Structure 1
Amino acid sequence: MRSPDPCKGDLKQRVALVRDDEIGDLAASFDRMMERLAAIYEISEAAQQAANLDDLFADVHRIVGRLLDARNFFIALYDAAEDLVTLPYFVDEEDETPPPQGPRRGLTGYVIRTGQPLLATPEVFEDLCRRGEVETIGAPSIDWLGVPLIVGSETIGALVVQTYREGVRYGEREKDILVFVSRQVAQAIARKRAEEAIRQSEEKFRHLFDNSEVGMFTTRLDGSEVLEFNKKYLTILGYTHEEVRGIPSRSMWADKSERDKMVELLKAQGYVANRECGLLNKQGEVRRCITSMRLDRDTGILEGSIQDITERRRAEEALRESKSQLQTLLESSFEGILAVDNKGNVIEANRQFAEMWYILPSLIESGNDQALLEFVLGQLVDPDAFLDKVHALYHSTAMSTDTLLFKDGRTFERHSSPLMREGAVAGRVWSFLDITERRRAEETLRQSEERYRTILQTIAEGYFEVDLKGTMTFCNDSLTAMLGYSREELIGLNNRAYMDEATAAKVFATFNRVYRTGEPTEAFDWELIRKDGTRIIVETSVSLLRDRD
């Protein structure tokens, strides 16, 4: 007996059969819809709960795997700025994870490029290859199914599944499922990316805040408490984290009036910038600080920074004191001192320099070394030699000493040395000493010595000078005649060469007594041995000869 033909029979029977089929289809559609909605809900939940993108991708893979065969599954992300495709999540039976690369003419690149879903059966893939739209990349698959991940109007990547087995095929149903969930996946990725960007930004800010070389803080305008602070803030003030929490910020000001002025400015303009103030550290020491603050008028919260400049201020004060001492030394020096940089600018010139060269203060104050040179040249006997030495020494590391003769009879001793800065020549320092009187004294002494030597050379008595070791340093002609030696032979000769041991011992005792007492001896007899070996008796007196110094 054949089954009844649904197209025959009475109308009621046919309607009942049609309604049963429609109800079945509707039920199946409803189940699929609920399944997809459940997947969307899970993806949304995963986006909120996943610690990072890697966890989110794994959750998406698991959820998609319940809807279709997803043994070979990957997520591709596209960076438009770098024009680079990365595969942060890749699970495949045949291929290893590809490295980041540009969107080449593969199937993934095609989906990203077109922004359209693609079910690439072998026939579709062959047609795309023939038209030059794509090329083979990686292991060949049976079916390849990819959908774009779109946020707004921007394609941020692709969601892909593929199969390498004949028994596992994809169709429009799988395509619809992947398209359906891809929207939620794209939103979830975008949200998680934004969260990670915010987290990284916060971590970066926190790192910068905590490790800044400037003390940073937030506090209340009324000075009741410090709300937040970094490590440098604690270092500057010498407190621990726990100690700062319990201290009113207003108590840290060394001068309460300084704080009052700061508060007035903050109320008036909402900020202060680079103002110096004194803050008390834990030990009660005043630390000089540069502070900047901004007031949130709605909350009464101050955000600010402090930079400890105590050591800088001490260094500046030490430098001022050092400069003052140097200036005092310069002005009290007997030497005229001039310092000039490489550009011909006068760095320093003391009063003695101006007086020695008869230079007006206004010319010194002009700071023009060339003008100074032109002014002094007319005073010199040899101005060309003076200039040649100046030009030769600039930019040189050599030191120099020479003598300058003036038309008015004065004589200066000139010393020059390079002014070094960080290993390079930065200028030149010149010092001038008036040695006119010294030269005159030396000339007078020279003339006196010449007269003295002339007298000694003309007397009949033998005269000689020895050092403390008994070595002859001077003798007159009479002595050379007595001993039969030439002057050249006697100079540098020790006295033991022309006396015997007994006489040498007597002479040593006499010299030693004269050296210790400073008193000359009365005349006594010596026996001396001439060059030819003959002996002579001489009457000798000894006195101490002192250096001029």
Structure 2
Amino acid sequence: MDAEPPPPENGAEDTMRLFGSTVPVPSFPSAPAEEPAGRAETRPIAVPAPHVRPAPGAGPAPAAKAEARYYKTPYINERKKFELIIAASGQVVYDYDLATGDISWSGNLQQVMGYLPEEMGGIKEWTERIHPDDRDEALRLLESCEKNREVYEVDYRFRIKTGGYRWLHGRGFFLIEDDRNLRRMIGMMQDIHERKQGELLQSAVYKIAQAADTSAGLDDLFRSVHGIVGTVMPAGNFYIALYDRAREMLEFPYFRDEEDPPPGTLKPGKGLTEYVIRTGRPLLCDEATDRDLRGRGEVALVGAPSAIWLGVPLIVDGVTIGAMVVQHYSDPNAYGPAELRMFEYVSSQVARSIWRKGAEEALRRNEQRLSHHIQQTPLAVIEWDREFKVRQWNRAAERIFGFTAAEAVGRHASFIIPEAYRGQVDEVWRGLMDGTSGERSTNENVTKDGRSIACEWYNTPLIDGEGHVTGVASLAQDVTERRHTEAALRDSEELYRRLVAAIPDMIVRTDLEGNIVFANEVAVRRSGSARAEDLVGRNIFSFVVAEEREKAAAAAARMFDKKIGPQELGLVFPGGSPIRFEVEGSVLRGPGGEPYGVVYLCRDMTERKLAEESLRQGLVKLRTTLKASIDSLSSAIEMRDPYTAGHQERVTRLARAIAVDMGLEEERIEAVEIAGIVHDLGKLYVPAEILSKPTKLTDLEYAMIKMHAQAGYTVLSKIDFPWPIAQIVHQHHELINGSGYPQGLAGKDILLEAKILCVADVVEAMSSHRPYRPALGIFAALDEVSRKRGLLYDRDVVDACLRLFHEKKFKFD
């Protein structure tokens, strides 16, 4: 029983090392012939002795000696036993001849890789089947271990017979005995695909979470995710699509593809990406699946067709925010159910990372916007700590109080509070600290230059997560000007009240239906009422004489669309006779422009009617005298410029005819006529020799001629005409394109009467003789105004002038 088992023969010892076992395995060459079944023998089994830690200072511990124990076991052929052990391990065994490159394969080759031993080939075929990303490292280690006689141990991806790659763990020993010309390598390969994929997945998830922390932004995160996904599956063609539910738009913030260009933002269609987002389910789409989905109308072809397409939804809190996609254009076996599970596994971390990074970027943008608003707001934004010292001080605070942020931060609030108000402010602060009051206050403050200002304060206590007040955020507005304005408004209201009381006319305010809500003392007295309350509630139109009531209501309705002038109406009060009043109404509107009432001013016209009649009679006499004076002025002008004798009279006739043809009111026609008579009054101030000069005028002489319009205005503006005669004369050389003189007026800035006078003046001047040229004739004159109609001269005026000559046969003589 104490005898030790014989050592393994030939290469069996190395095979034991390969397994890392102390079980003695005999070499194949010395295996005895099979014994009949059922025979048993007593065989030694090596049991490792316990490890003994060496005593301090002692030499190396002796190698642990295996204790041989003998058990009664059934006899099994040694070769069969070795094969059973290999089969039970699930590994592939190889014997590599370093000299020839041939490899003998055995073990679980077909179960692990799908190949038969004769299909595997030698070292060249083994090398070609290693994944390109792992090949260099596997070969480098092989060369190094052979050179140094070390155990060859490596993980790599190997292309299996059905397509795709699986992770293998290779372990081999070199048997090199130069004296026997023995150069071999014996080893095993173990399928570690699930374990390796699990490790890679865990690493990928961790790296994605880490990328969410370290990425500078979403673009950086997308690049990191792409690289990490590429460690667990082919990801040369990879993109992320995000769905904006609010806008119902699909965006592709990250897109890397060897066939298609990056798409822009678009409405969701019927692509595979939209299908994944719409259904919220992952999709592994090969040719058959694509044909089935398209046949059912679920999807349509978008972009270049791929050999295999894999997409997973990005879901956060049950809401699909987008999709993550990989695709391969040449290898239909690039992805399978395992890649689908892996891709789906990492997608949840990707979705959370995108959502988180997007939220961080949105928060950062909001903080930037808030900071910008704080700096740009016209209100002072100040943050105080619990000691009432400044923590933040924006630009508006600098402007309002005069202190820079550098001067203010860290100082107690007393530097902007006058001594007389500190007790009041301290009371506000205590209320903010204990949460009882102080959210709004108005008090006096002092600026850096010593000015006293009034400020309105809006204060918000800052509360931490435990409910403690950590400080106060304040908005301050300088209301000094507003206070002055309010005081002025109060004075104005008092003045208005006194004016209303002093005005001798009736003032009545109504609601939108015409019911009286206010009447001044004059209205109360004239209506025969005892007090204002007797009028309140009565309809104002009930006081209008019956025959004019409809007219009054119609005028009141028009007021809401446009301003109308005073209306003359008859009003009758109880016990009295109708009295003529001038009634003027104004619509009252709120801040938004909405009407809420009407105020009427009613002025008794009895005395005014009498005065108007007297004035009318006086005006007739005055006009007669005025016209005689104007005629005298006209004669004086013609005496100064005999060559233009009759010019003013002819211009006046044509101008009046144009005004009549255009349908102007009688008052305006009379204004045109009067202005025409004196339109060249200013020539009295131009030297006679210039007016009658038969040769071309110099620039200075022409400038003096052009001064006559201004000179005429200066003289006539001192006369109180009932018409704008001075302005008409002033503008009668202005042209509608602004090229006239003396003011360069254009378009609507020129009075219509002046436009009429301008055309009449041009037509008469061109058709008449002048010292420096003969008459050009009426046809040349009409052609001039016709060609420059709408450019220099008013269209309507020119049309009226042409009608007079062509249709109504107007003549100057």
Shared fold, TM over 0.5: yes
Distance change (3 Å), C-alpha of 1:176 and 1:367:
same
Instruction: Give 1:517's aligned residue.
Output: none
What is residue 503 of structure 1 aligned with on the other side? none
Q: Confirm or deny: 8 A CA contact 1:112 1:148 kept in the other structure.
A: yes
2:601 to 410, 414, 429: 429
Conserved 8 A contact 2:516-2:539: no
Find the counterpart in structure 2 of residue 459 from structure 1. none
Match of 1:298 among 451, 465, 468: 468
Report the Cα distance in structure 2 between the residues aligned to 1:70 and 1:427, rounded to whole angstroms: 79
Other-structure match for 2:509: 340
Letter in 1 for 2:242: L
Q: Aligned-pair distance for 1:270?
A: 3.6
Q: How does 1:229-248 map to 2 (within 5 A)?
A: 229-245=393-409, 247-248=411-412
Structure 2 distance, partners of 1:273, 1:96, is 57
Does the CA-based 8 Å contact 2:507-2:599 persist in structure 1?
no
1:123 corresponding residue in structure 2: 288
Matched, 1:399 2:566: yes
The answer as to whether partners of 1:148 and 1:155 remain within 8 angstroms in 2 is yes
Equivalent residues in 2 for 1:509-548, closer than 5 Å: none
**1:364 aligns to 2:532 (yes or no):** yes
Q: Structure 2: which amino acid aligns with 1:321?
A: D
- In the alignment, which of 446, 467, 472 is matched to residue 280 of structure 1? 446
Q: Which runs of structure 2 are paired with 1:130-141 in the superposition (5 Å)?
A: 130-141=295-306
Task: Provide the secondary structure at the position in 1 that maps to 2:190.
Answer: helix
Q: CA RMSD in A?
A: 4.6
Alpha carbons of structure 1 residues 64 and 319: separation in structure 2 relative to 1, 3 Å? same
Q: Residue 108 of structure 1 aligns to a residue in which SS? A: helix
Contact 1:340-1:369 within 8 A present in 2 as well: no
Does structure 1 conserve the Cα–Cα contact (< 8 Å) formed by 2:516 and 2:538? no
Partners of 2:605 and 2:430 in 1: CA distance: 60
Counterpart of 2:495 in structure 1 is 325
Distance 1:14 1:54, change over 3 A: same
Deviation at 1:188, TM superposition (A): 1.8
In structure 2, do the counterparts of structure 1 residues 411 and 324 end up closer, same or farther at CA, with 3 Å as the change threshold?
farther
| Alpha-carbon distance in 2 for matches of 1:258, 1:321 | 29
SS at match of 2:302: coil
Alignment partner, residue 47 of structure 1: 212
| AA partner of residue 71 (structure 1) | G
1:74: how far off?
1.0
Runs of 4+ that moved beyond 6 A: 3-8, 371-374, 385-390, 401-413, 422-425
Cα distance in 1 for residues equivalent to 2:208 and 2:341: 17
Tell me which amino acid in the other structure corresponds to 2:487: E
Q: What is the TM-score of this pair, normalised by structure 1? A: 0.64
Q: Which amino acid aligns with 2:566?
A: M
Taking structure 1 as reference, are residues 39 and 112 closer, same or farther at Cα in structure 2, changes over 3 Å only?
Answer: same
Structure 2 residue matching 1:218: 3-state secondary structure? strand
Structure 2 distance, partners of 1:185, 1:412, is: 89
Give the letter aligned to residue 599 of structure 2.
G
Aligned counterpart, 2:262: 97
CA contact 1:271–1:294 (8 Å) conserved in 2? no
Shift of 1:198: 2.5
Amino acid at match of 2:488: A
2:91 is the counterpart of 1:21? yes
Cα drift, residue 321 of structure 1: 1.1
Moved more, 66-75 or 267-276: 267-276
Other-structure match for 1:73: 238
Change (3 A) 1:323 1:165: same
Provide the residue aligned with 2:121 in structure 1: none
CA contact (8 A) 1:110 1:134 kept: yes
1:322, distance to aligned residue in structure 2 (A):
1.9
The residue type paired with residue 284 of structure 1 is G
* Cα distance in 2, alignment partners of residues 136 and 266 from structure 1: 65
For 1:134 and 1:42, the matched residues in 2 are separated by 34
Give, in angstroms, the shift of residue 108 of structure 1. 2.4
Select between 351-360 and 317-326 the one with higher mean Cα deviation. 351-360
Counterpart in the other structure of 2:417: 253
Give the residue type in structure 1 aligned to 2:478: D
Which of 309, 316, 330 lines up with 1:144 in the alignment?
A: 309
- Does the 8 Å contact 1:237/1:282 carry over to 2? yes
| 1:56 positional shift | 1.0
What SS does structure 2 have at the residue aligned with 1:10? Answer: helix
Could you report, residue by residue, the CA deviation over 1:397-451 in whole angstroms, capped at 9, with x for unpaired residues? 2225689999999998844433355799943212448959x989x99xxxxxxxx
1 CA distance for matches of 2:449 and 2:439? 27
Deviates more, 1:83-92 or 1:11-20: 11-20
CA contact (8 A) 1:412 1:435 kept: no
Query: For the residues of structure 2 that align with 1:404 and 1:189, how far apart are their CA atoms?
Result: 79
Correspondence for 1:111: 276
Q: Which runs of 5+ in 2 are unaligned?
A: 1-26, 32-75, 93-168, 170-188, 615-624, 630-813
Question: What whole-Å deviation, never above 9, does each CA across 1:298-319 have from its counterpart, x for those lacking one?
Answer: 2351223233333232222112
Gaps of 5+ in 1: 444-466, 472-549
Cα separation, 1, equivalents of 2:230 and 2:200: 12
**Aligned match of 1:201:** 366
Quote the Cα distance in structure 1 between the aligned partners of 2:223 and 2:91.
Answer: 39
Q: CA deviation at 1:145?
A: 1.9
1:183 is aligned to 348
How high is the sequence identity, in percent, across the aligned residues? 30
- Match of 1:306, SS? strand
Q: Which moved more, 1:3-12 or 1:314-323?
A: 3-12
**Contact in 2 for aligned 1:330/1:337 (Cα 8 Å):** no
State the distance in 2 between where 1:285 and 1:176 align: 73
Partner of 2:324: 159
Question: In the alignment, residue 88 of structure 1 is paired with which amino acid?
Answer: P
User: Counterpart amino acid of 1:314?
Assistant: H
- Mapped to 2, the partners of 1:170 and 1:410 lie a distance apart of 105
- Partner Cα separation in structure 2 for residue 173 and residue 325 of structure 1: 90
Displacement of 1:165 after TM fit?
Answer: 2.1
Question: SS of 2:432's equivalent?
Answer: helix
Task: Single out whichever of 148-157 and 400-409 deviates more from structure 2.
Answer: 400-409
Query: What's the CA shift string for 1:281-313, capped at 9, x where partnerless?
Result: 334334333333233472351223233333232
CA distance in 1, matches of 2:332, 2:271: 24
Q: CA deviation at 1:171?
A: 3.6
Residues in 2 aligned to 1:237 and 1:366: alpha-carbon distance in whole angstroms: 55
Q: Which whole-Å CA distance do the structure 1 matches of 2:324 and 2:572 have between them?
A: 96
Q: Which amino acid aligns with 1:430?
A: C
Q: Please tell me the residue identity of whatever aligns with 1:419.
A: S
Pairing 1:266–2:438 present:
no
The alpha-carbon deviation at position 61 of structure 1 amounts to 1.5
- Aligned-partner SS, 2:357: helix
Distance in 1 between residues matched to 2:294 and 2:576, nearest whole Å: 105
Amino acid at match of 2:447: N
Contact kept? 1:336, 1:354, Cα under 8 Å? no
Contact 2:440–2:456 (CA under 8 A) maintained in structure 1: yes
Check the 8 A contact 1:353/1:432 in 2, yes or no.
no
Give a deviation string over 1:130-173, Cα, whole Å, max 9, x none.
Answer: 45544322211111122333335444332211122259833445
TM alignment of 1:390-539, pairs within 5 A: 394=556, 397-400=564-567, 414-419=581-586, 426-432=598-604
Is contact 2:572-2:579 (8 Å) kept? Answer: yes
Which residue identity does 1:143 align to in structure 2? I
SS of match in other structure, 2:91: helix
Q: Report how far residue 199 of structure 1 moved.
A: 2.2
Greater RCO (Cα-Cα under 8 Å, separation 6 or more): 1
Measure, in 2, the Cα distance between the counterparts of 1:356 and 1:260: 59
CA contact (8 A) 2:309 2:327 kept: yes
Paired with 1:338 and 1:57, the residues of 2 have a C-alpha distance of 75
